[in-house]
């Protein structure tokens, strides 16, 4: 039997918030993505199959919603933190981050933020949500080899950017 939707929201809201912030990079768009994701979950909860972990199902809905929003605004410039405060709020939400590491995280974030959308989604799920390449492939509906290729490309682009800054 499926859990009550309120229970799912209680269990997964924090992780979904972090994923939304990782994808969007600013509080306003992340909040919209968060709400749009839960609306789609509520509408489609009857199609959820218990054999798939709920978080994978939830995150695949979130990533697909994000990709659809990006398609709608394809010609818009890259999404960035709207304010320095938004960026600090995001970094403050990361557990166990030491003050000494904050600058490194910010440099890394800026490098990840500049990645193309396809690479950014793979990086967010693989590194920030700690899914395996196979799980990322399932969530995004792409072959596992494509995930590995995108991770490789993303790492190379991040290395180049970090070495140049």
Count of structural domains, the chain? 1
pLDDT at 76 (0 to 100): 43
Contact in structure between 162 and 107 (CB atoms under 8 Å) = yes
* Structural domain for 14, as ranges: 5-164
Query: In terms of C-beta distances under 8 Å and separation of at least 24 residues, what long-range contacts does 52-61 make, across chains too?
Result: 54/3, 54/8, 54/11, 54/12, 55/12, 55/15, 56/131, 56/135, 56/138, 56/139, 58/8, 58/12, 58/16, 59/16, 59/19, 59/125, 59/129, 59/131, 59/139, 60/138, 60/139, 60/140, 60/141, 61/37
With cut-offs at 50, 70 and 90, classify the pLDDT of residue 117.
Answer: confident
Task: Assign 139 a pLDDT band (cuts: 50, 70, 90).
Answer: confident
For 134-155, what is the mean pLDDT? Answer: 91
- pLDDT at residue 62 tops 90: yes
Predicted pLDDT of residue 91: 61
pLDDT at 79: 45
Answer with the residue of higher pLDDT: 110 or 65.
65
143 pLDDT exceeds 80?
yes
Confidence of residue 82 (pLDDT cuts 50, 70, 90): low
- CATH number reported for the structural domain that contains residue 105 in this entry: 1.10.10.10
Q: What is the pLDDT of residues 51-60, one digit of tens each?
A: 889 999 999 9
């Amino acid at each position: 039997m499926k859990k009550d939707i309120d229970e799912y929201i209680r269990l997964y809201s924090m992780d979904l918030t972090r994923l939304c912030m990782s994808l969007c990079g600013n509080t306003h768009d992340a909040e919209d993505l968060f709400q749009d994701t839960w609306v789609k979950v509520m509408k489609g909860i009857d199609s959820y199959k218990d054999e798939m972990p709920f978080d994978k199902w939830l995150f695949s809905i979130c990533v697909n919603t994000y990709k659809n929003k990006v398609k709608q605004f394809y010609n818009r410039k890259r999404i960035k933190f709207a304010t320095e405060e938004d960026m600090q709020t995001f970094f403050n939400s990361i557990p166990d981050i030491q003050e000494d590491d904050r600058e490194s995280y910010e440099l890394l974030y800026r490098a990840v933020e500049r990645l193309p959308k396809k690479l950014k989604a793979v990086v967010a799920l693989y590194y920030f949500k700690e899914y395996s390449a196979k799980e990322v492939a399932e969530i995004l509906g792409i072959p596992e080899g494509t995930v590995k290729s995108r991770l490789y490309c993303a790492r190379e682009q991040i290395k180049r950017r970090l070495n140049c800054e």
